[in-house]
Amino acid sequence: MNPVKEINPASESKKCLTRVLGAIDLSSLTKTDHKVFLSRLEQHFPTLFELLLQVYDKHYDLHYHLQQLVQTLASNFAQRKARLKKKDKQRLADPLWHKSEQMLGMACYVDLMAGDLNGLLAKIPYFTELGLTYLHLMPLYKSPEGDSDGGYAVSDYRCVNPALGTTKDLQVLAEALNDAGISLVLDFVFNHTADDHAWAKAARAGDAEFQDYYLMFDDRRIPDQYDATLREIFPSVRRGSFSYLPDIDKWVWTTFNNFQWDLNYGNPAVFRAIVDEMLFLANLGCDSLRLDALAFIWKDMGTVCENRPKAHALIKAFNCCLQIVAPAVVFKSEAIVHPDEVVKYIAPTECQLSYNPLLMALLWNSLATQKTRLITQSLSHRFEINPHCSWVNYVRCHDDIGWTFDDGDAAHLGINGYNHRLFLNQFYTGRFENSFAVGLGFQENPENGDCRVCGSLASLAGLQQALERNSPALIELAIKRILLLNSVILSIGGIPLLYAGDELAMLNDYSFQSDPHKLHDSRWVNRPRIDEPALALAHKPGTPQYTVNVGLRKMIAARKKHAVFGNASTHILRTGNDHCFAYLRQADNGERLLAICNFSAAEREINADILHNLLPAREVINLIDHKPLVMDFSKPLVLRAYQVMWLYFPG
If we measure between CA atoms, which residue out of 516, 508, 463, 485 comes closest to residue 595? 485
Q: Which of 292, 407, 509, 605 is catalytic?
A: 292
Contact between 62 and 12 under an 8 Å Cβ cutoff? The reply is: no
Contacts of 583 (CB under 8 A, 6+ apart): 379, 492, 570, 571, 572, 573, 594, 595
Cα–Cα distance measured from residue 476 to residue 19, given in angstroms and rounded to the nearest whole number: 70
Contact between 487 and 644 under an 8 Å Cβ cutoff? The reply is: yes
Q: Which of 149, 334, 399, 503 is catalytic?
A: 334
334 is a catalytic site residue:
yes
Q: Bridge partners of 497?
A: 105, 394
Cα–Cα distance measured from residue 519 to residue 515, given in angstroms and rounded to the nearest whole number: 6
- Kindly report each contact of residues 442-450 with a partner whose C-beta sits within 8 Å and lies 24 or more positions away, as own/partner: 442/400, 442/521, 442/522, 442/523, 443/233, 443/234, 443/235, 443/236, 443/400, 444/235, 444/236, 445/232, 445/235, 446/235, 447/235, 449/422, 450/421
Cα–Cα distance measured from residue 620 to residue 594, given in angstroms and rounded to the nearest whole number: 10
- Would the CA dihedral through 375, 376, 381, 385 be positive or negative? positive
Collapsed DSSP state (helix, strand, coil) of residue 567: coil
CA–CA distances in Å: residue 392 to residues 355, 395, 406, 498: 5, 10, 20, 10
Longest CA–CA separation in the chain, Å: 89
447 is a catalytic site residue:
no
Collapsed DSSP state (helix, strand, coil) of residue 28: coil
Contact between 65 and 272 under an 8 Å Cβ cutoff? The reply is: yes
- Active-site positions read 292, 334
